Structure 1
Amino acid sequence: MTTLTADRQLRVLHVVRQFHPNCGGLEDFVANLARTQIEAGIDARVLTLDRQFTRPDVTLPERDALGPIPIRRIPFRGSKRYPLAPGFLAALGDADLVHVHAIDFFFDALAATRLMHGKPLVATTHGGFFHTGAHSTLKKLWFSGPTRLSALAYRAIVACSEQDEATFATIAGEKVVLIENGVDIGKLAGRARPTKSKRLVSIGRLAANKRPDHLLAAFARLVAADREWHLAIVGAESDWSAEQLRAEIERHGLGTHVDLHIGLDDAGLARVVAGSSLFVSASEYEGFGIALIEAASAGLGIVVNGNTAFRELAARHEGIRLTDFANPDAAAAAIRAAYDALPEMRCVPDWVGAYAWPAVAARYGEVYRRALGLEANRAQFQQPVSASVKYRSELPEAVKMQGK
């Protein structure tokens, strides 16, 4: 049993394959959770790989920081799908608890060596490895075999969506806890264009499961009927490179109607959102849907592909319009209908406040306490109320809307 005294911080090591300066939903999640924990008095650190998958020829510094978050990077070899990083054991240091993000080499390796390192383990699923249908038979076999075996070493497995909860409960049973992702709802709060316009924004990694080809096919239908439409695509290179996406844009003859923004920081993203009225996503798979909630916090209208995660959000919250982006005509019609239904002034739904980080981090704190069998200083797990929780009170009345 671990006992934390008043003068000793809980030490948590977050282990994630990609982190700063890489940009994406997983990286944002880890950064926001660690930052919120540090604000609450927890010693939170990050262990990650020393090269970005999109720039494998550039080795990043072993020691770094993202604001208050210390970062340590270790070398790896092999495929980005399952990178091998044998130096992980020596990098665990004096952590009281290791929190693994996603189901990959780190998840398996830390489980296999648990008797050597002796650290209590917690994991967050982040969609597992089912983001695409590729190699589905092999994935199912791996999940029911090695992943099930590795899960035995974890004291808790946090599912970040209802679909993850149902999936991982089949191999980990009562160890699975549902904590939906936190979202930095203050980042884009109320930033959408004040009055409606035919300007769309899509936010997310240029990954195969995001289906940028489907998005562009639907958008081409819109432009064919009305040349006023404009689309901004914001993301980081992944399965699709910027060059490949630009070629696809030109193939559809959309060069003057689509702007591509790669690797924008938060301020740059806010500037793009400030010129937009609708958020669109053709994604076939999402672990949760962080970008959708950020878009809602900005006051954007929402039109997204009906994947499982988006359907779950739409079932609980109003203002989310689902369509089938595999059918470009249907998707274009849904976007037009969403535009027609937009109020003249932007609206921010009340429900976005439920995803603020302090409340989510507090739930993780309870998971940690149980995983450690704690007699702990509870104050370290109590989160302060941040500006992101209070942001709605600072918005003009015109942009507020009573939501579900």
Structure 2
Amino acid sequence: MKIVHVVRQFWPSNGGLEEFVRRLALEQIAKGDDVRIVTLDELFTRRGVKLPERETREGIAIQRIPFRGSSRYPLAPSVLGYIGDAEIVHVHAIDFFFDFLALTLGVRRRALVATTHGGFFHTSKNSLLKQIWFNTVTRLSSRFYGAIAACSESDYQMFAGISPANLRLVENGVDIAKFANLASAEPVKAMITIGRLSDNKRIDRLLDMMSALAAKDDEWRLHIVGTQSDWSGERLRKEISARGLDAKVECYLGLDDAGVAEVIRQSSIFVSASEHEGFGIALVEALSAGLLPVVHGNAAYRGFASKHGAVRIVDYEDSRSSAAAVRGAFADLAASPNLRDDGIKVAEKFTWPQVGQKYQTIYRDVLGRRASG
């Protein structure tokens, strides 16, 4: 099968969306598919620095194209010149590519598939405008997709209101071998958060929680592992210093997997104050490592907890209650070490071969309906 994945950011950018596309592409290549990635030629964190137009990494052919406008809705109409003879065009996230390809290729009945990745509701900024856009432009664009894969229960509920006929639930795949069983074997008073330093992650609330926690117990430590985004490393360090947490919070920016693994070995609890997640790959990776998650009750995390358990939901708007939840989680872990194994078992449900097969089934269904129609 000839597949083109279209995604606004890819390697060397490293986040949940990029990792998802990478792993899906690798699964498909392993099965003999012809796979290419079309992405933008600049990283949003390094505007003005052009990346190579073409590159091959891990056997994945990468084509980069120019764009104009903001990172929120980058305009790149030249994407049409790089679709070629693809049998399946798979669009990732809801942005310019989603709308443009729907209204160009979709109206010509090309085989289009999309994965939601949380839509564009990652923050409450411009929420009214986003709702209007979602219920008009996104609703219209959705009609031209053979299938839309919601990558979480919350995304499924969101898109069911505008595109129920072609909607499928396919929860994200996760590389659970990467950090398998790496969390500290003995419970330690150390937390880790992993992810892009974007505004929706609410790192400020994690730091407020850490302040409340350290005020009652000086042994606690917080490890922040991520890549710069809305928050720079400089801003992060200033916020840490402003709270007097320099000796209690460690920052690790741009680590490779081996580096992240070393930090996980020093930790027992995974924390996230994120207001929005498309799915939460880092959460499943944390479970696979044997970390006990204490996370903010956004829609994706609530949906995950209701189906899979092994996850503590708390409101990080209240630093005292979130600190209390972390203390409670540590006490439970110390009293019941099997909680660690419970999380590892939950993570095993998200292996990539299972997810890759679900997408192959969707592709064949879309191509079959197109051929018969």
| TM-score bucket of the superposed structures, by smaller chain | over 0.9
Contact in 1 for aligned 2:109/2:370 (Cα 8 Å): no
SS of residue paired to 1:204: strand
Other structure's SS at 1:171 match: coil
Segments of 5+ residues of structure 1 without an aligned counterpart are 1-9, 377-404
Does 1:368 pair with 2:359? no
The match for 1:251 among 242, 250, 255 is 242
Question: Do structure 1's residue 237 and structure 2's residue 228 form an aligned pair?
Answer: yes
Aligned residue number for residue 327 of structure 1: 318
Flag the 1:113–1:331 CA change in 2: closer, same or farther, 3 A: same
Matched letter for residue 126 of structure 1: H
Deviation at 1:348, TM superposition (A): 2.8
Query: Could you report, residue by residue, the CA deviation over 1:119-173 in whole angstroms, capped at 9, with x for unpaired residues?
Result: 3100000110111111111011111111111112111111111111111121112
Query: Displacement, 1:66?
Result: 2.5
Give the superposition deviation at 1:51: 0.3
**Who is 2:68 aligned against?**
77
Q: 1:112 and 1:375 mapped to 2: Cα distance?
A: 17
Measured in 1, the distance between the counterparts of 2:159 and 2:47 equals: 32
AA aligned to 2:331 is D
Alignment of 1:353 with 2:339, yes or no, is: no
Provide the residue aligned with 1:66 in structure 2.
57
Alignment of 1:300-319 (within 5 A): 300-319=291-310
Q: Deviation at 1:88?
A: 0.5
Which structure exhibits the higher relative contact order, with contacts defined as CA atoms closer than 8 Å and separated by 6 or more residues? Answer: 1
Cα pair distance change 1:85/1:375, threshold 3 Å: closer
Amino acid at match of 1:122: V
- What letter corresponds to residue 71 of structure 1 in structure 2? I
CA RMSD of aligned residues (A): 1.6
Name the residue aligned to 1:154: 145
Aligned 1:14-33 pairs, distance under 5 A: 14-33=5-24
How far apart are the structure 1 equivalents of 2:290 and 2:56? 32
Partner residue, 1:386 = none
Match among 328, 340, 360 for residue 337 of structure 1: 328
Distance in structure 1 (CA, Å) of the matches to 2:61 and 2:350: 25
Q: Residues 18 and 115 (structure 1 numbering): CA distance in 2 closer, same or farther, change over 3 Å? A: closer
Say which is worse superposed, 96-105 or 111-120, in terms of deviation.
Answer: 111-120
Does the 8 Å CA contact 1:298/1:348 hold for their aligned counterparts?
no
The corresponding residue for 2:47 is: 56
Q: Contact 2:212 / 2:319 at 8 angstroms: preserved in 1? A: yes
| Distance (whole Å) between structure 2 residues aligned to residue 115 and residue 203 of structure 1 | 37
Task: Give the Cα–Cα distance (whole angstroms) in 1 for the partners of residues 306 and 139 of structure 2.
Answer: 30
One-letter identity of the residue aligned with 1:254: L
> What percent identity do the matched residue pairs reach?
52
Q: What one-letter code is carried by the residue in structure 1 that aligns with 2:367?
A: L
How many residue pairs get aligned? The number is 367
Gapped runs of 5+ residues in structure 2? Answer: none
The amino acid of 1:294's aligned partner reads E
Task: Deviation per CA, 1:58-113: give whole Å up to 9, x if none.
Answer: 10001112212111100111100000112111111221110000000000111121
Q: Distance in 1 between matches of 2:204 and 2:296?
A: 13
Q: 1:208 aligns with which of 199, 223, 240?
A: 199
Q: 1:184: Cα distance to partner?
A: 0.7
Contact 2:188 2:267 in 1 (8 A): yes
Is contact 2:195-2:225 (8 Å) kept?
yes
Answer whether contact 2:195 2:226 (CA < 8 A) is retained: yes
Relative to the length of structure 1, the TM-score reads 0.88
Distance 1:354 1:115, change over 3 A: closer
Secondary structure of the residue aligned to 1:185 is: coil
Question: Using the alignment, how far apart are the partners of 1:198 and 1:304 within structure 2?
Answer: 16
